[in-house]
Amino acid sequence: MRRRPLTAALLASVLVAAIVAPAAAQAPPDWSEAEIRLVGRHGPWPPPPARDPSNRISGTPAGIALGEHLFNDVRLSGDELMSCATCHQAGRDWSDGRALGKARADLDRRTPSLWNVGYSHWFGWNGAGDSLWSQSIRPILDPREMGGSRERASRLLREDKQLACGYERAFGAKPDGDDERLLVDAAKALAAFQATLVSPRTRFDDFRDALVAGDREAASRYGLAEQRGLQLFIGAGNCNACHLGPRFTNGEFGDIGIAFFVRPGEVDSGRLGGLAALAASPFNLLGRYNDDASGSSALRTQHVRRLHSNFGEFRVPGLRQVGRSVAYMHNGGLATLEDVVRHYSEVSPDRLHSDGVPLVRSLGLSAGQSTDLVAFLRSLDADPPPHPAPPPLCP
Ligand code: HEC
Ligand code: HEC
């Protein structure tokens, strides 16, 4: 066979092949049946509205409306300067744009976003709350945060005409209970409102739905780096051992080797201290303010045990809207998603305190893998529609 001289046309086709070849390596990853099942479990989104049987006004329009007004009301705080919305701002994904919370002084933990908080079962980084309403009492009474009181909250509900009217619509009676009960009712309204804060659908959700439906065309709109990052997330990275389900959290606690020293000599014991606070709280689900007559909502609180291994555990955060945060982890100690991925890539086993089989181990990711994982995490973000100011409670 005679070899043909390298004509211009042939040369051009060789060049084209050289350009196309690396693109072939960029073909979308194959998705196995098992992987598709795992991806499917991170949806569908949004979930049905959250309902809390321990809160009798959960999900009611009048309860939600009252809660939103209270959420924005500085009069719940001791100096009338601070409301929930001071730290949980609608325009900042219901957080404050800071690495650590700040009231009169700096707080030791980061202000979590309130997106999707209605679907949690433990609250606070250390799980000191077992209901959204009991968690909403904490900042009102905490002298380091709003520094309010039972008397101040109940007086507000009784004496402010709009709030008193909103209360009557929500609870079907005038606000004339004892101070503590009215504080709890205020918190139940706050909880009803917060449970409506559901993050928007994302590009990940479109991909997930397309993959599950077998719609390759629609699935191909999701970036290749994002697809590879997702495969790492549910595969070798083992991220979905803790960040699972539609919210990307199991709602429980874990130790991933984040420092727990608050100041030299002072530690944040995390879940260990949270369980002690939960047991001591008059507002936990075993107490008299739980509206759930069946008692089943209190089972988790009844059965949870305090173990030494809870030391240094913090709640597994959900990952929707995660790329929109300005800092990460309970102590705001990591500034970017790249830093978070580097942490998981390099974490030393000596820093983990978990018993048994460690779920987190140093992953030793390549630069490309780290980029892919970050790209995937960013696909969980979407711009929420603007949050309008609420209409007046009563005409
Ligand atoms: C000074 C800032 C600040 C104010 C004011 C504030 N919060 Fe927070 N919020 C935080 C911080 C910091 C945390 C984390 C606390 C922790 O885990 O120990 C938090 C945690 C929460 C959580 C738990 C979220 C989760 O995912 O578990 C809820 C719910 C919450 N706040 C609701 C409220 C409500 C309701 C109000 C008003 C009554 C309020 N916050 C006022 C800073 C604030
Ligand atoms: C053992 C359970 C566990 C595993 C496995 C795990 N995480 Fe986490 N993740 C956590 C916990 C717990 C935190 C919060 C730790 C803290 O605040 O001290 C966290 C925090 C995060 C955050 C910061 C979120 C925020 O709002 O601050 C991101 C992002 C994250 N994880 C992504 C991942 C990725 C990616 C993987 C896989 C490489 C992974 N996680 C594996 C438990 C886990």
Q: Ligand 1: which residue has its CA nearest to atom 23?
A: 124
Calpha distance 243→248 (Å, rounded): 4
**Residue 121 included in any domain:** yes
In the reported structure, the alpha carbon of residue 390 is separated from the centroid of ligand 2 by a whole-number distance in angstroms of: 35
What is the pLDDT, as a whole number, of residue 322?
A: 98
**Residue 292 included in any domain:** no
In the reported structure, the alpha carbon of residue 218 is separated from the centroid of ligand 2 by a whole-number distance in angstroms of: 29
- Domain match, 257 and 323 both: yes
What is the pLDDT, as a whole number, of residue 155?
A: 97
Where residue 354 falls among pLDDT bands split at 50, 70, 90?
low
Q: Ligand 1: which residue has its CA nearest to atom 13?
A: 111
For 8, 19, 222, 231, the CA distances from 22, given in Å and listed in that order, are: 22, 6, 19, 20
pLDDT tens string 173-183: 999 889 999 99
Amino acid at position 363, single letter? L
Query: How many CB atoms lie under 10 A from the CB of residue 63?
Result: 26
φ, ψ (nearest 5 deg) of residue 204: -60, -40
Q: Which of 134, 164, 194 is the last residue of a domain?
A: 194
- Domain match, 317 and 371 both: yes
Q: Ligand 1: which residue has its CA nearest to atom 9?
A: 111
- Domain match, 171 and 258 both: no
Helix axes 150-159, 179-194, angle to 10 degrees: 80
In the reported structure, the alpha carbon of residue 263 is separated from the centroid of ligand 1 by a whole-number distance in angstroms of: 21
Where residue 259 falls among pLDDT bands split at 50, 70, 90?
confident
Q: What is the mean pLDDT of residues 300-310?
A: 93
Of 99-108, 190-199, 331-340, minimum mean pLDDT range: 99-108
In the reported structure, the alpha carbon of residue 124 is separated from the centroid of ligand 1 by a whole-number distance in angstroms of: 7
- pTM for the whole structure: 0.93
- Domain match, 129 and 256 both: no
- Domain match, 166 and 115 both: yes
pLDDT > 60? residue 364 = yes
- Domain match, 173 and 263 both: no
pLDDT tens string 106-151: 889 999 999 999 999 999 999 999 999 999 999 999 999 999 999 9
In the reported structure, the alpha carbon of residue 128 is separated from the centroid of ligand 1 by a whole-number distance in angstroms of: 12
Residues with CB under 6 A from ligand 2: 233, 237-239, 241-243, 254, 256, 258, 314, 316-317, 319, 322, 325, 328-330, 337, 340, 344, 359-360, 363, 373, 377
Helix axes 33-40, 203-213, angle to 10 degrees: 140
What is the pLDDT, as a whole number, of residue 24?
A: 46
- Domain match, 189 and 318 both: no
CATH code of 355's domain: 1.10.760.10
φ, ψ (nearest 5 deg) of residue 287: -85, -175
Q: What is the mean pLDDT of residues 165-172?
A: 98
| Residue 84 three-state SS | helix
What is the pLDDT, as a whole number, of residue 357?
A: 65
Atom of ligand 1 minimally distant from the CA of 126: 17
Closest Cα to residue 357, out of 349, 368, 365? 349
- Domain match, 169 and 264 both: no
Q: Strand pairing of 261-263 and 266-267?
A: antiparallel
Average pLDDT along the chain: 92
- Domain match, 175 and 124 both: yes
- Domain match, 257 and 369 both: yes
Closest Cα to residue 184, out of 278, 281, 107, 113? 281
Q: Ligand 1: which residue has its CA nearest to atom 42?
A: 111
Where residue 383 falls among pLDDT bands split at 50, 70, 90?
very high
Range of the domain at 342: 233-270+311-378
- Domain match, 94 and 176 both: yes
Closest listed ligand to the CA of 354: 2
In the reported structure, the alpha carbon of residue 286 is separated from the centroid of ligand 1 by a whole-number distance in angstroms of: 22
- Which residue shows structure tokens 């250390």? 126
- Domain match, 365 and 237 both: yes
**Residue 105 included in any domain:** yes
Q: Which of 194, 222, 243 is the last residue of a domain?
A: 194
What is the pLDDT, as a whole number, of residue 25?
A: 54
In the reported structure, the alpha carbon of residue 317 is separated from the centroid of ligand 1 by a whole-number distance in angstroms of: 14
In the reported structure, the alpha carbon of residue 213 is separated from the centroid of ligand 1 by a whole-number distance in angstroms of: 39
Residues with CB under 6 A from ligand 1: 76, 82, 84, 86-88, 101, 103, 107, 109, 111-112, 114, 117, 120, 123-126, 132, 135-136, 139-140, 145-146, 190, 194
Calpha distance 118→50 (Å, rounded): 6
What is the pLDDT, as a whole number, of residue 248?
A: 98
pLDDT tens string 260-291: 888 888 899 999 999 999 999 999 999 999 99
| Residue 204 three-state SS | helix
**Residue 6 included in any domain:** no
What is the pLDDT, as a whole number, of residue 19?
A: 46
| Domain count along the chain | 2
Atom of ligand 1 minimally distant from the CA of 71: 37
**Residue 7 included in any domain:** no
- Is the separation of the CB atoms in 125 and 330 below 8 Å? yes
**Residue 169 included in any domain:** yes
Closest listed ligand to the CA of 123: 1
* Strand segments (E) across the chain: 253-254, 261-263, 266-267, 314-315
Calpha distance 179→350 (Å, rounded): 49
**Residue 279 included in any domain:** no
Closest Cα to residue 377, out of 331, 321, 334, 333? 321
Q: Which of 194, 218, 250 is the last residue of a domain?
A: 194
Of 149-163, 239-253, 255-269, minimum mean pLDDT range: 255-269
**Residue 168 included in any domain:** yes
Q: What is the mean pLDDT of residues 196-216?
A: 98
Where residue 83 falls among pLDDT bands split at 50, 70, 90?
very high
